[in-house]
Amino acid sequence: MVSNTSNSYGAVARFFHWSIALLILTDIVLGLIGDATERNAETAWFLQTLYSTHKTIGVAVLLLAVLRVIWALTQPKPAPLHPDRKAETFVAEVVHWALYGAIFVMPLSGWVMHSAETGFAPIWWPFGQNLPFVPKSESVAHIAGAVHGLSAIVIYLTVGAHIAGALKHAIIDRDATLARMTKGTAAGSKTSSGSHIAAMVPATILWVAVIATPILTQPAHEHGPETVAVETASDANWQVENGTLTFTVAQMGAPVTGQFGAWTASIQYGDAGSGEVEVIIDTTSLTLGSVTDQAKGAEFFDTSNYTTAVFAADIEQIDGVSHRANGTLTLVGQTIPVVLDFTLNRDGDAATMTGTASLDRRDFGMGSGYTDESTVGFGVTVDVALTATRTR
Ligand code: HEM
Ligand code: HEM
């Protein structure tokens, strides 16, 4: 039978139950393996594949969950086998409702986290990666990650209780509860009521608490352009008002952009079209989506040993607004010549500058464990944009 009756589960309900159960259990295992795996160059490829699989399975769960609920709404709900055991039946139903919540909250929180982050493992499907209305924001990713982690704990407990209950029926009670879900066996009263809405209440409270707790308790913690702290040296001719310093590198073939939240620029630039610039970057203010920690690690920016990077250059005017800063970049203890081409638009005592430099991470010995470009590209594009006003 395709459809449910008042005392049996039809093939469609059973398909949804077992396919979602299998995918959820697989995703829990993948999530736990991912959590337990150390993050370094050797494990990068493995982790990216693992998380892409995890996310793709999770999104499949969400789609099946939507279809499952639509289907369930059109179907009678098979009555409990032991309506006389009121407390046991009620607990079993609370767990069922909690599991219904889990198949939405778990993948959605994961997906919100994924949407709010930049880079790292993509969902393997062609329909886009990001959810509408979810901003790229570290604090949103952080809160969604906390909901995801808390939901995982709820899932361990509810799935554990649910499986234990199913086994108790099969082994101790030796009744048809499990057979109803595996084979579609019809069993139990055809007349007693199939669903108790009261059991929805504790399950709903549980999920509201799981979602609300991280939102209410996570400290807002945001980096990036919103908190850019740009200062200038006191003897600078130009005071930098505002700016962004970002870099872009290919990760698994897709561009990923990171940024430095804190840097200082000291610029001297005269009307003759020449001058000097020194930019001191606080590398600990780096953010690179979900891989910030790896980027700060010994393999790349090594921020526990090198907290600053310095770009010092002479500025020359090439033609009209087009300029070139020819100098060196000192990063992770290596000093390498770097050319920054930029445009400078001046309007009286205000100036807008946008520039780009191309680097090769290997020149700085960065990511030496990533010997080919399949995980992390060699070329890095640095983009600077700032506005400044003349002080003297
Ligand atoms: C059936 C749905 C899902 C289940 C059961 C599930 C389960 C888990 C578990 C058990 C963990 C490890 C626990 C932890 O880190 O505290 C985890 C981590 C993670 N999940 Fe999921 N997940 C699901 C769906 C998704 C989806 C759809 C996405 C993204 C599109 C996602 C993204 C992630 C990420 C990025 C992590 C690592 C979090 C971190 O270490 O910061 N998950 N998931
Ligand atoms: C090996 C693992 C599992 C076993 C043995 C199992 C067994 C069962 C059984 C025997 C029933 C029928 C209960 C009844 O008729 O009162 C049932 C129902 C149910 N199970 Fe599972 N289950 C498993 C995993 C899961 C998982 C991971 C979920 C998570 C979504 C889940 C969600 C549900 C829900 C929501 C119901 C209520 C029936 C419905 O509305 O579809 N089960 N399960």
Buried b (16+ CB within 10 A) or exposed e, 160-189: ebbeebeeebeeeeeebbbebbeebebebe
Q: In 134-241, which ranges are continuous DSSP H helix?
A: 138-167, 177-182, 200-217
| % residues pLDDT > 90 (the chain) | 53
pLDDT at 220: 55
The two tokens of residue 150 are 């808390």
pLDDT at 31: 97
How many other CB atoms sit within 10 Å of the CB of residue 259?
20
Is 333 strand, coil or helix? coil
Q: How far is the CA of 159 from the centre of ligand 2 (A)?
A: 8
Probe ligand 1: pick from 108, 148, 154, 158, max atoms within 8 Å of CB?
A: 148
pLDDT at 222: 46
309-361 pLDDT per residue, tens: 989 999 998 888 899 999 989 898 888 899 999 998 888 788 888 999 999 99
| Domain residue ranges of the chain, discontinuous segments joined by + | 11-217, 225-390
Give the lowest-confidence range in 34-48, 71-85, 230-244, 320-334: 230-244
In a 10 Å sphere around its CB, with 0-12 CB exposed, 13-18 middle and 19+ buried, how is residue 310 labelled? middle
252 Rama sector, left if φ>0, alpha if ψ -120 to 50, beta otherwise: left
Contacts (Cβ under 8 Å, ≥6 apart) of 32: none
Average pLDDT of the chain, as a whole number = 88
Is 161 strand, coil or helix? helix
Show the ligand 2 pocket: residues with CB < 6 angstroms: 13, 17, 20-21, 24-25, 72, 78, 80, 92, 96, 99-100, 102-103, 159, 162-163, 166, 177-178, 180-181
Q: How far is the CA of 17 from the centre of ligand 2 (A)?
A: 6
pLDDT at 227: 35
| H or E stretch at 250 | strand 238-251
Tokens 């010549």: give the residue: 337
Higher pLDDT, 222 or 158: 158
Tokens 């191309």: give the residue: 358
Q: Do 10 and 2 touch, CB atoms closer than 8 A?
A: yes
CATH number of 225-390: 2.40.128.110
pLDDT at 119: 65
Is the full-model pTM beyond 0.75? Answer: no
The two tokens of residue 274 are 């020449």
**Which ligand is closest in space to the CA of residue 33?**
1
